Amino acid sequence: MAAPFVDTARITVRSGDGGNGVVSFHREKYVAAGGPDGGDGGRGGNVVVEVNDHMSTLMDFRYKRKYVAGNGSDGAGKRCTGKDGEDLVLRVPRGTIIRDAETGEIIKDMSDPEPFILCKGGRGGWGNKHFATPTRQVPRFAKAGLPGQSRDVVLELKLLADVGLVGFPNVGKSTLLSVVSRAQPKIANYHFTTLFPNLGVVFVEEGVSFVMADIPGIIEGAAEGAGLGHDFLRHIDRCRLLIHVVDVSGSEGRDPVEDFEAINEELKQYSPELATRKMIVAANKVDIMEDPALLEKLRKHVEEQGMELFEISAAAHQGTRELVKKAAQELSQLPPVVVYEPTYVERPPEVDTTGEVNIVEFDGTWVVEAPWLQRLIANVNFGDYESRNWFDQKLRQSGLFDKLEEMGIKDGDIVSMYDLEFEYQR
């Protein structure tokens, strides 16, 4: 039994925590005052997403839902920096869209070959070698590493194909794809043979080729979730050109015009923009046609709507060459495949600042540590004015500055929070 096609997956990803800096002093037999030499912690591993053109489904994400990158190692003496955490690389099919699970906003469209860092690893903490000054020659403190990022995302596969074959089940779409390309879809004379989209590269002539997708058969009500069509309509979104395959043989007692309009209505309900996409009509199975009047009825109906109709028999390789040449001609005049722009906007995290705070004073330096402070700093862009203001506001709301003043901090004293240092001013 073939593995089921998986085109959406919800996963949790987390980057690695930064390693801790260490307190260490250089000790050598004939060196009286070696000074601080505590090394920094290593950076936590990133969660990186890469395109793999050999993948066609999100099946790998069906059973495993949590992915965690490696943590950075702690620093060591002799100014040794800890080892960086190992990056976690997630490989996805080309055309996968990464969405924020909570808002549904697009974080990244994986349509280009460039790797994308989904979660950045936490920065490593500083060792005590960073805190030596002329007035503070024996710093007996170091900094903890910052935690990694964590987020829930939805992976959604929208195939990257130039041409999409649409139509009712069993009208010959898979046969057509197998004839004009090297794809080998499963073909049989029963409904829903195609259970997942198939892609094939169609070679027209030297230097001219395009990608064609055989979309599983659409039935009436697909836009509301009936049948298989609803799950796979999304794969037509990127297709620049649609080839609507209609069975005109009359072998199943169906009316080609009614079938043609029913499919178009489903496309319109799913996406009004999709219904306006350039379309060519392929009247299939003309070699076993029982009533030529059905073909002429469809031809008249299609041409009245300004579309072009091609008579083909995919099974008999009849008319298929002319069809792909016309498709290539149309593609040369159409805009490129749609790439979705990110819509996700990073929001300030909700950080509970009511937790315990540990404050220790060393020679005019106030070392402040707290789990919530780690999370706060990890989400601040100190190169951005608005982000710095938000950080300052959070510290004031937490009562941290009031507590420092109660403990005797003076203007000009140094406040040290993980890898952040600043002079205190009232």
pLDDT digits 0-9 by tens, 28-62: 766 656 788 889 999 999 999 999 988 878 888 98
Q: Which of 25-39, 71-85, 171-185 comes out lowest in average pLDDT?
A: 25-39
Residues 6+ apart with CB under 8 A from 253: none
CATH architecture assignment, domain 163-331: 3-Layer(aba) Sandwich (3.40)
Which pair of structure tokens corresponds to residue 377?
A: 């700093």
pLDDT tens-digit map of 325-346: 999 999 999 988 778 888 887 7
- Give the strand order in the sheet containing 88-92: 88-92, 47-51, 116-119
Which pair of structure tokens corresponds to residue 20?
A: 């801790």
CATH architecture assignment, domain 1-157: Distorted Sandwich (2.70)
Q: Are 135 and 168 in contact (CB under 8 A)?
A: no
Q: Which of 22-36, 128-142, 190-204, 406-420 comes out lowest in average pLDDT?
A: 190-204
pTM greater than 0.75: no
Q: What are phi and psi of 371, to 5 degrees?
A: -55, -40
**Crossing angle (nearest 10°) for helices 256-270 and 292-304:** 40
As a dihedral over the C-alpha atoms of residue 14, residue 355, residue 415, residue 364, rounded to 10 degrees, the angle is -130
pLDDT at 187: 46
Summarize the confidence of residues 251-255 as an average pLDDT: 81
pLDDT > 60? residue 4: no
CATH architecture assignment, domain 351-426: 2-Layer Sandwich (3.30)
Q: Are 240 and 334 in contact (CB under 8 A)?
A: yes
Rounded CA gap, 204 and 210, in Å?
A: 8
Residues 6+ apart with CB under 8 A from 121: 15, 16, 17, 18, 43, 44, 45, 46, 69, 72, 84, 85, 87, 148
pLDDT tens-digit map of 81-128: 999 999 999 999 888 999 999 999 999 999 988 999 999 999 898 888
pLDDT tens-digit map of 367-387: 888 888 877 887 777 777 888
Sequence spans of domains, the chain: 1-157, 163-331, 351-426
Q: Are 110 and 98 in contact (CB under 8 A)?
A: yes
Query: HEC string of the chain?
Result: CCCCCCCEEEEEEECCCCCCCCCCECCECCECCCCECCCCCCCCCCEEEEECCCCCCCHHHCCCCEEECCCCCCCECCCECCCCCCCEEEEECCCEEEEECCCCCEEEEECCCCCEEEECCCCCCCCHHHHCCCCCCCCCCCCCCCCCCEEEEEEEECCCCCEEEECCCCCCHHHHHHHHCCCCCCCCCCCCCCCCCEEEEEEEECCEEEEEEECCCCCCCHHHCCCCHHHHHHHHCCCCEEEEEEECCCCCCCCHHHHHHHHHHHHHHHCHHHHCCCEEEEEECHHHCCCHHHHHHHHHHHHHCCCCEEECECCCCECHHHHHHHHHHHHCCCCCCCCCCCCCCCCCCCCCCCCCCEEEEECCEEEEECHHHHHHHHCCCCCCHHHHHHHHHHHHHHCHHHHHHHCCCCCCCEEEECCEEEECCC
Summarize the confidence of residues 347-356 as an average pLDDT: 73
Q: Are 207 and 226 in contact (CB under 8 A)?
A: no
